[in-house]
Amino acid sequence: MKLFVGLGNPGAEHAFNRHNVGFMAVDAIAAAHGFPAWRKRFQGVATEGRLGRAQVMLLKPLTYMNESGRAVGDAVRFYKLELDDVIVFHDELDLAPGKVRVKTSGGVAGHNGLRSLGAHVGNDYVRVRIGIGHPGAKELVTRHVLNDFAKADRTWLEPLLAAIADNAPYLADDDADKFQSRVAHAMQTEEEAAEEPPAPRTPRKREAKPSATPDAPSKETSLGSKLRRWLGS
């Protein structure tokens, strides 16, 4: 089994904070891959399903960020997991907004959630570092991470969460390099599409088309629409 942990703070007042992008990532994975409803487990909420070839539990600790390690430690001990089967999604000040990097072990760089994990399970788990950018001065960091994403951030945040969710099976199958490269490619494609003008259309001869089948009533089930609801648009 793999344990995917999203770091964040519980409560509606924190739901769209930059510090909660880890929660957003595992929410996106659950929605994209049809995981069942979240239920209370391990001092948090969890849901379980399959990604790639692996059985995966998604976990959101509800202990507040500074005590995230308590919930993760409970799950790790219950399932007798090795730390290379624990993948933690968290915000990263030292990466530009929209960038994602995967690494195993390392320091905590002042991140209280990672510090708590280190105290309870050690540091040799896999980290999915989700860039939120640095505000430029140390005294502005707390305000930056505990404030909501700006409306302008949604142009990269929605496609980033979708790319993370779409490619999460690579993480479950121990292919972190493929996950990282596919997410990077998805984000590069989004940026290029926004910057480049559409190519001129070449006129071509019309071909007869089969008559279309009437569309079924549309349902707002796409990941994008769910993300827009989460992001309050």
- Tens of each residue's pLDDT in the chain, 233 residues: 999 999 999 999 999 999 999 999 999 999 999 999 999 999 999 999 999 899 999 999 999 988 999 999 999 999 999 999 999 999 998 899 999 999 987 776 668 788 899 899 899 999 999 999 898 888 898 899 898 999 999 999 999 999 999 999 999 999 999 999 999 999 985 445 555 555 555 555 554 444 333 343 333 344 555 555 555 54
Q: How are strands ordered across the β-sheet holding 44-51?
A: 39-41, 44-51, 54-61, 2-6, 86-92, 126-131, 100-104
The catalytically annotated residue of 14, 19, 33, 90 is 19
User: So what's the pLDDT on residue 82?
Assistant: 94
The CA-to-CA distance between both ends of the chain, in Å, stands at 35
pLDDT score recorded for residue 225: 58
Q: Which domains does the chain have, with CATH numbers?
A: 2-196+224-230 (3.40.50.1470)
Known catalytic residue: 33? no
pLDDT of residue 193: 54
Q: What is the pTM of this model?
A: 0.81
Quote the pLDDT of residue 188.
84
Residue 196 is predicted with a pLDDT of 52
How do beta strands 2-6 and 126-131 pair?
unpaired
